[in-house]
């Protein structure tokens, strides 16, 4: 089997990779919904793939892996890797989890980071009411994540939140010392949310990036009585192209509240210091950014050797990203907690893909399916109606 073409189409907001072979088998991968601009970057890799055997996934990846980088640029490499595994599974007639060593668990726990309801403000009461609505969601999530601090509107909506001027725009860098008023507001919102959830549903907080080390320590210590699942991306995180393990280690060593990071990190080498220095309690790589499915599994196993937990990111990964997360999470060691459930946008995505269970999530879990490859594929007749004019030949 040989690769004859690499295609990419933006469907809705997600760039979709299609790897075509000379045996009529195609594999699909998906880039996060926030990265429609990555189509040319995906196609950059076409000459590196043509003529290769897609079932030799690692051999193909050795040609392109070093040509990616931290979020967002590693997404293109990651989507290609997913598509290669999709082909390998289809060619073998096996789900990807069997090619990765088989299942550790039949059901994979997911947490809610994407099913949102309108907020009525940013007061503790507003956060509590919003959390109560998420607790009642039909998916029955056992863990819910909510944005606070620099991963929310608090720098703009809470007067005197921190000691710098709030910045607006897509790639803002709100960062600085939090005032006593701002710190107390975050703590009050966390207390209100946890009171709404009780002890049957875990609460995780997506916090930044942007916190300074002393404030991060004060926050983590103040929240210790709440037994939170984790505090995420306090210091670095989304679209920050460095790791800062020594700073995370300073925070982690001074609190019992679990500290989490990793969604932006590309490749195992960039997790090495975080893991070996025990800089965080939990890592959260995204299969759409780390370099793909096998890379995530490698990092999870290395983290397990060091007693570090795993809670993968994935909120914008779409339905093919969801399938990839289900496949790899079924194989992960016992340090696995849950992955962030991707919500497809627009909603018509669920009408153009076959193979998803209905309902997808039951009581906070997804049952790993046994269909070959990723186990989901396009309903091409339905999907073609959503192709842009420039992408009309995507399925040809």
- What pLDDT is recorded for position 168? 85
User: Is the CATH code 3.40.390.10 the one for domain 98-374?
Assistant: no
d(CA 273, CA 48): 30
For residue 145, what is the enclosing H or E element? Answer: strand 143-147
- What pLDDT is recorded for position 249? 98
- CA angle (133 as vertex; 128, 135 as ends), nearest 5: 90
CA of 238: how far to CAs of 34, 151, 207, 281, in Å? 12, 10, 11, 18
Q: Under CATH, to which class is 3-93+378-391 assigned?
A: alpha beta
- What pLDDT is recorded for position 211? 98
**CA-based nearest residue to 326, from 31, 104, 138:** 104
Residue 12 Rama label (left phi>0; alpha psi -120 to 50; beta)? left
Q: Can you spell out the DSSP letters for 89-123?
A: HHHHTSBHHHHTT--S-SEEEEEBSS-----S-SS
> Do residues 85 and 27 make contact, with C-beta atoms less than 8 angstroms apart?
yes
Task: Characterize the bridge pairing of strands 107-111 and 143-147.
Answer: unpaired
CATH 3.30.390.10 spans which residues of the chain?
3-93+378-391
CATH 3.20.20.120 spans which residues of the chain?
98-374
Work out the number of other CB atoms within 10 angstroms of the CB of residue 121. 12
- What pLDDT is recorded for position 258? 99
CA of 126: how far to CAs of 90, 121, 279, in Å? 47, 6, 33
d(CA 9, CA 352): 14
In total, the chain counts a number of residues equal to: 396
Tens place of pLDDT per residue across the chain (396 aa): 999 999 999 999 999 999 999 999 999 999 999 999 999 999 999 999 999 999 999 999 999 999 999 999 999 999 999 999 999 999 999 999 999 999 999 999 999 999 999 999 999 999 999 999 999 999 999 999 999 999 999 999 999 999 999 988 777 789 999 999 999 999 999 999 999 999 999 999 999 999 999 999 999 999 999 999 999 999 999 999 999 999 999 999 999 999 999 999 999 999 999 999 999 999 999 999 999 999 999 999 999 999 999 999 999 999 999 999 999 999 999 999 999 999 999 999 999 999 999 999 999 999 999 999 999 999 999 999 999 999 999 999
Work out the number of other CB atoms within 10 angstroms of the CB of residue 176. 18
d(CA 281, CA 191): 22
- What pLDDT is recorded for position 299? 98
In whole angstroms, what separates CA 196 from the centre of its chain? 26
State the maximum Cα–Cα separation within the chain, in Å, rounded to a whole number.
64
Bridge partner residues of 354 (DSSP): 377
- What pLDDT is recorded for position 358? 96
Instruction: Lay out the sheet containing 339-340: strands in order across.
Output: 339-340, 107-111, 365-367
Buried b (16+ CB within 10 A) or exposed e, 275-295: beeebbbbbbbbbbbbbbbbb
- Contacting residues for 311 by C-beta, under 8 A, at least 6 apart: 111, 204, 229, 230, 260, 282, 283, 284, 336, 337, 338, 339, 340
Instruction: Lay out the sheet containing 3-11: strands in order across.
Output: 3-11, 14-21, 26-30
- What pLDDT is recorded for position 268? 98
- Three-state DSSP state, 196: helix
């Amino acid at each position: 089997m040989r690769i004859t073409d690499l295609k990419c189409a933006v469907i809705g907001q997600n760039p979709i990779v299609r790897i075509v072979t000379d045996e009529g088998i195609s594999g699909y991968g998906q880039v996060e919904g926030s990265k429609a601009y990555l189509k040319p970057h995906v196609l950059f890799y076409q000459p590196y793939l043509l003529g290769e055997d897609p079932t030799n996934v690692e051999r193909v990846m050795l040609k392109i892996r070093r040509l990616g980088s931290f979020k967002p640029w590693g997404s293109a490499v990651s989507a290609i890797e997913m598509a290669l595994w999709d082909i390998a599974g289809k060619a073998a007639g096996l789900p990807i989890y069997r090619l990765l060593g088989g299942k550790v668990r039949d059901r994979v726990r997911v947490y809610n980071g994407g099913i949102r309801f309108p907020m009525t403000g940013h007061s503790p009461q507003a956060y509590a009411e919003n959390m109560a609505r998420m607790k009642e969601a039909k998916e029955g999530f056992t863990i819910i994540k909510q944005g606070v601090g620099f991963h929310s509107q608090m720098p703009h909506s809470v007067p005197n939140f921190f000691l710098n001027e709030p910045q607006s725009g897509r790639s803002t860098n709100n960062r600085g010392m939090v005032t006593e008023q701002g710190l107390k507001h975050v703590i009050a919102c966390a207390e209100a949310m946890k009171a709404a959830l009780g002890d049957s549903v875990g609460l995780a907080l997506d916090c930044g990036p942007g916190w300074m080390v002393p404030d991060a320590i004060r926050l983590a210590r103040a929240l210790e009585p709440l037994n939170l699942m984790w505090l995420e991306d306090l210091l670095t995180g989304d679209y920050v192209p460095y790791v800062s393990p020594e700073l995370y280690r300073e925070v982690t060593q001074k609190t019992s509240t679990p500290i989490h990071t990793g969604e932006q990190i590309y490749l195992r080498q960039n997790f090495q210091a975080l893991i070996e220095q025990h800089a965080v309690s939990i890592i959260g790589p995204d299969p759409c950014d780390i370099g793909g499915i096998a890379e995530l599994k490698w990092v999870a196993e290395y983290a397990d050797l060091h007693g570090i937990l795993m809670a993968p990111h994935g909120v914008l990964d779409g339905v093919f990203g969801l399938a990839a997360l289900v496949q790899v999470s079924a194989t992960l060691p016992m340090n696995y907690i849950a992955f962030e459930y991707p919500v497809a946008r627009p909603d018509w995505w669920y009408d153009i893909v076959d193979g998803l269970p209905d309902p997808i999530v039951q009581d906070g879990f997804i049952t790993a399916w046994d269909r070959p490859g990723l186990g989901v594929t396009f309903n091409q007749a339905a999907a073609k109606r959503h192709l842009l004019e420039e992408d009309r030949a995507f399925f040809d």
